[in-house]
Amino acid sequence: MTLFYLRIIVLIATTLYQAIACWLEDCTPPPGQRVDIGGYHLHYVTAGTGYPTIVVDHSLGGVEGYLLLEELAKLSRVCIYDRAGFGWSDISPYPRTSNQIVTELDTMLTRAGLEPPYILVGNSFGSYNMRLYAHRFPEKVMGLVLTDGLHESRMLQMGLALKGLQLFFISGFLMSIFGSGLGLIRVMNLLGVFELIKPELRNFSTASLQPVKRSFCRPKHWLTMTQEILNLTTSGRQMFCANNLQNLPIVSIKAQSFFKVSLITALIPLKAANQLREQIQLELIKLSTNCIQLDAENSGHFVWIDQPDVITKAVKLLLKSVNENNH
């Protein structure tokens, strides 16, 4: 019984710590602006100057754009935003599908006065969203970067092993909703567990990591993450219309492996995941008559952490193409 009561005391302490930490964070203004898109607000940050505007959308459940902001801002004006439910953005009352996310993004850009044209950067699941945006608003888009992107023709045909992996992720997200509410994820952050899991995070400044970690410490982040992955099949079906982007300049970045080989990845169907990625990359290169592929040879799926310079290189290629077409 003593051990039981000790656990209760620890959970009460971590929950209080979480509540106080969230209150203190909420007393501090967000780094960017919040714009009303119809009864709820999205948060966005801009940096740099130039033309066109680079707009970044994150991976499933990610807010990694903060890690890219400083370098991309050296190239042109850049806008990163927190999808509804992440970071400083409100939870959306609508389904977390690519079609809805694209509608919200365009409303935010319009009401924020961030005029097109845009170069879009979509990381992983964000590649669905940005590709669909390019299809729905072709007059606003000058180029597209897909960072280890997805393609519905293969994602909708995943084998049992990968569907099992997806269910494993969902269960982890569900547990993390409660874990973050109890303050356990915030304690893990305090102990440096994020950097132990992903040592490459140490390459980034505290200032760029803080917004990312802040979001992951909150239950709404994991709740939205769960909603996005549960709607992944619906989002994939919404992409059928976006398979012919004409001659839109596209750079598709291909990671070396889905996950870097380690003791942890030995427990997942890595071979099946990499075979799926190979098939996806063959489909992505067909999206446009003006599509090239860049290899992130030392990166796992999280290119924005492992090799962010490749994303910068891809944007530079598109900016060069834009400048040549304007002369």
User: What pLDDT shows up at residue 323?
Assistant: 74
CATH number for 18: 3.40.50.1820
pLDDT at 271: 82
What is the DSSP annotation of 60-97?
A: TT--THHHHHHHHTTTS-EEEEE-TTSTTSPPPSS---
Q: How far is CA 106 from the centre of its chain?
A: 17
> Which pLDDT value is given to residue 99?
98
Dist. CA 223–CA 180, nearest whole Å: 10
Q: Is the dihedral of CA 100, 65, 25, 43 positive or negative?
A: negative
The predicted structure's pLDDT at residue 161 = 85
**Number of separate domains in the chain:** 1
Give the predicted TM-score (pTM) of the model. Answer: 0.93
Q: 141: closest CA among 22, 318, 260?
A: 318
DSSP string, 137-204: -GGGEEEEEEES---HHHHTT--HHHHHHHHHHHHHHHHHHHHHHTTHHHHHHHTTHHHHH-GGGGGS
CB 87 within 8 A of CB 210: no
Q: Is 288 helix (H, G, I), strand (E, B) or coil?
A: coil
Q: So what's the pLDDT on residue 258?
A: 80
Structural domain of 33: 2-325
Closest to 251 in 3D by CA, of 187, 294, 304: 294
pLDDT of residue 219: 97
- Residues 31, 211 contacting (CB under 8 angstroms): yes
Listed as ranges, residues in the chain with pLDDT below 70 are 1, 260-267, 326-327
